[in-house]
């Protein structure tokens, strides 16, 4: 969950590195640091706090050189202090290293080296790795770049855990060494200059020709070129990819926050999730990326959906969708649970893992565990070259464009849209009639314009949000397809406004939750006019009877009873029940956003969080 950038070329490294690390700030932002090499001397600047603090420190005390590395941190080991900020150095002070990941056996390695007289300045696992590499290199009388790469190899074979690293050494100007296992690392190919980064958004302003490193690969990078090898010392082929993303994709597009821009993109991103995947002729969805024939899909007897956070909530909607449209037993499980649970899965179980970033450690591990047991495992990802996308047996890309705001928004509605397509496809090769399939396709094609109507509700939602922005506790309640939306709405609110929000099935109120109801605790009911509308009404009555403020999401023209009971009512356009989660979730995205803004919270970079959780 940290961000790394490296540069080697003819230009001054510092401005390129600082601009690049800013574009990765969503990956972690509790401290930042930079190291450059000039005339045989490595200069380092580190600051606690946002990257602006580092930029100010460098402005006060500039550093030069055309080789450098930079890092923004989300603390895993060690407090948020300047000493624990990266880059870290080895015992000699000639090597500097930045790292994304967790070295699990760092304590034993540290103790071993302390026994040899090493002194550590920080509490981090990263500094241990820097010393381990320097220790291996300094044992050799021969001091060549090949020996340095071998020292990196030797150190990496000694560590357990995950890493994405960039290393420079004062004896080797114009050289960066990169290596990865479990944390993403991409090499950017410029003209007479090369880049290394945790993800392409840091370097897309300079090049769109990139090489994605695979696990256990090491890159030796100079201004003249690069070579790839493996930790085991074998050669490795490099595949140059042209990045689809453009620099403006990573900007705010005139919006005050990435999150607001990404909320407003959803009519387009939902349309993009369906583009080229609807067949009127066959009244079904076409998903070639599943790499499965209809016969293989028909043989599937059980489906497991897995993910973390928002992706898990989308998976929960998928469970209802697939059981409703295809009648296949389906269950969803948190990836962090699935990876350790000995879930009985027979050979005809199909697993889907959902992940916007495609790098979430728990989801990646759940996928690898499922594949290890021989189950076909498909990914629903946004990041095309992500580890999950590359290691899974196939899947469906979200095509939502980069999602920079830490709070997931368009990724949720894209994932749910794709799950509708999957459920449609599975249903149509089983018992779903062509008439029913055709109707769903028409409803899907009308969906972007319904989303546009919901996006126009922002001013109404903003007013409701401001009225309730100072609540300390908030309950979100829904049923069936909108129960996962209750969980998602609560997650949105808590992660950017820090309000203690929780989501529940509406009927669970009387099983304990209603004890929390009081005049200061608003209850948000997601109550579109669906099959259980009257049941939701009863739950609302229960809350009203106890004096709890009620905010409801209802359906235009079909919510007279709701209007009598609620303090605030937001009406979405009438929509098929299976598609309401896409519309109701957008309302709750706006709701959370405007409360966070009202409270002065940092919407795009909320405290303690990072966009991509690449550590356990």
Binding site for ligand AGP (CB under 6 A): 308-311, 355-357, 360, 363, 406-408, 491, 495, 612-613
> Residue 363 Cβ, how far from ligand AGP at the closest point, in Å?
5
**Residue 27 beta carbon to ligand AGP: minimum distance, rounded to whole angstroms:** 11
Do residues 318 and 423 touch, judged by C-beta distance below 8 A? yes
Q: Judged by CB, which is closer to ligand AGP: 207, or 363?
A: 363
Nearer to ligand AGP, 305 or 408 (CB): 408
The least distance separating ligand AGP from the CB of residue 456, rounded to whole angstroms, comes to 24
- Min separation Cβ 270 and ligand AGP, Å: 17
Annotate 454-482 with b (16+ C-beta within 10 A) or e (fewer). Answer: bbebbeebbebbebbbebeebbbbbbbbb
CA dihedral of 366, 367, 368, 370, whole degrees rounded to 10: 80
DSSP annotation string for 384-453: TTSHHHHHSS-EEE-------SSS--HHHHHHHHHHHHHHHHHHHTTT--HHHHHHHHHHHHHHHHHHHH
Q: How far is the CB of 186 from ligand AGP (least distance, A)?
A: 16
Nearer to ligand AGP, 1 or 219 (CB): 1
How many other β-carbons are positioned within 10 Å of the β-carbon of residue 425? 25
Alpha-carbon span 524 to 614, nearest angstrom: 32
Rounded to an integer, what distance in angstroms lies between the CA atom of residue 325 and that of residue 299? Answer: 16
User: What is the C-alpha separation between 296 and 318, in angstroms, rounded?
Assistant: 20
Q: List residues with catalytic annotation.
A: 2, 611
How far apart CA 175 and CA 157 sit, in angstroms, is 22
**Least Å from the CB of residue 412 to ligand AGP:** 8
Residue 149 in contact with residue 229, Cβ under 8 Å?
Answer: yes
DSSP letters, 469-536, are TT-SEEEEEE-GGGHHHHHHHHHHHHHHH--EEEEEEGGGGGGTGGGG--TTS-EEEE--SSTTHHHH
Q: How far is the CB of 408 from ligand AGP (least distance, A)?
A: 4
Asked whether the beta carbons of 424 and 437 are under 8 A apart, the reply is yes
| Contact of 299 with 342, CB cutoff 8 Å | no
Nearest CB to ligand AGP, comparing residues 530 and 604: 604
Q: How far is the CB of 215 from ligand AGP (least distance, A)?
A: 18
Q: Secondary structure of 171-188 in the HEC alphabet?
A: CCCCCEEEEEEECCCEEE
Cβ closer to ligand AGP: 170 or 414? 414
Which residues lie closer than 8 Å to 543 by C-beta, 6 or more apart? Answer: 509, 514, 517, 523, 550
Q: How far apart are CA 426 and CA 445, in angstroms?
A: 19
Element (H, E) at 70: strand 67-73
Give the Å distances, CA to CA, from 123 to 80, 127, 151.
10, 8, 23
Q: Which residue is nearest to ligand AGP (CB)?
A: 309
């Amino acid at each position: 969950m940290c961000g790394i950038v490296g540069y080697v070329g003819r230009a001054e490294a510092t401005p390129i590195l600082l601009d690049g690390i800013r574009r990765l700030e969503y990956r972690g932002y509790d401290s930042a640091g930079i190291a450059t090499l000039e005339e045989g001397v490595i200069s380092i600047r580190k600051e606690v706090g946002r990257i602006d603090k580092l930029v100010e420190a460098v402005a006060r005390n500039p550093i030069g050189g055309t080789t450098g590395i930079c890092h923004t941190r989300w603390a895993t080991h060690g407090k948020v202090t300047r000493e624990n900020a990266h880059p870290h150095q080895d015992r000699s002070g000639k090597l500097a290293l930045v790292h994304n990941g967790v070295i699990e056996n760092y304590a034993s390695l540290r103790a071993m080296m302390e026994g040899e007289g090493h002194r550590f300045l920080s509490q981090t696992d990263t500094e241990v790795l820097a010393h381990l590499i320097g220790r291996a290199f300094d044992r050799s009388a021969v001091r060549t770049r090949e020996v340095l790469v071998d020292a990196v190899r030797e150190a990496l074979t000694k560590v357990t855990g995950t890493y994405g690293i960039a290393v420079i050494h004062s004896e080797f100007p114009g050289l960066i060494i990169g290596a990865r296992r479990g944390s993403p690392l991409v090499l950017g190919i410029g003209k007479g200059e090369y880049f290394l980064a945790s993800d392409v958004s840091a370097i897309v302003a300079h090049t769109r020709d990139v090489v994605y490193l695979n696990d256990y690969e090491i890159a030796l990078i100079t201004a003249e070129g690069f070579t790839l090898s493996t930790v085991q010392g074998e050669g490795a082929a490099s595949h140059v990819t042209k990045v689809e993303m453009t620099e403006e994709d990573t900007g705010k597009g005139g919006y005050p926050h990435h999150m607001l821009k990404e909320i407003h993109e959803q009519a387009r991103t939902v349309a993009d999730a369906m583009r080229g995947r609807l067949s009127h002729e066959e009244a079904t969805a076409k998903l070639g990326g599943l790499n499965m024939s209809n016969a293989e899909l028909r043989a599937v007897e059980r489906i497991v959906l897995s993910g973390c956070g928002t992706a898990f909530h989308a998976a929960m909607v998928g469970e209802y969708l697939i059981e409703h449209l295809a009648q296949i037993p389906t269950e969803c499980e948190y990836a962090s649970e699935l990876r350790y649970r000995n879930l009985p899965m027979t050979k005809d179980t199909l697993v889907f893992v959902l992940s916007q970033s495609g790098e979430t450690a728990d989801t990646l591990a759940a996928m690898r565990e499922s594949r290890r047991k021989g189950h076909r495992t498909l990914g629903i990802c946004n990041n095309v070259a992500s580890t999950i996308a590359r290691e899974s047996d196939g899947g469906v890309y979200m095509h939502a464009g980069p999602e920079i705001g830490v709070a997931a928004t368009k990724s949720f509605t894209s994932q749910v849209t794709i799950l509708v397509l999957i459920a449609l496809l599975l249903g149509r090769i089983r018992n779903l009639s062509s008439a029913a399939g055709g109707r769903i396709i028409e409803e899907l094609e009308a969906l972007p314009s319904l989303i546009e109507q919901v996006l126009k509700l922002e001013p109404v939602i903003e007013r409701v949000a401001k009225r309730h922005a100072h609540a300390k506790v908030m309950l979100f309640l829904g049923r069936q397809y909108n129960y996962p939306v209750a969980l998602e709405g609560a997650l949105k609110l808590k992660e950017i406004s820090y309000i203690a929000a929780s989501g529940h099935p509406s009927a669970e109120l009387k099983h304990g939750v209603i004890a929390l109801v009081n005049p200061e605790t608003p209850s948000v009911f997601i109550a579109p006019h669906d099959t259980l509308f009257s049941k939701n009404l009863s739950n609302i009555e229960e809350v009203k009877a106890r004096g709890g403020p009620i905010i409801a999401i209802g359906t235009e023209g079909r919510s007279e009873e709701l209007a009598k009971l609620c303090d605030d009512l937001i009406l979405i356009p009438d929509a098929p029940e299976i598609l309401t989660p896409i519309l109701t979730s957008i309302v709750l995205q706006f709701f959370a956003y405007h409360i966070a803004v009202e409270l002065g919270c940092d919407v795009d970079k909320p405290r303690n969080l990072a966009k991509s959780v690449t550590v356990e």
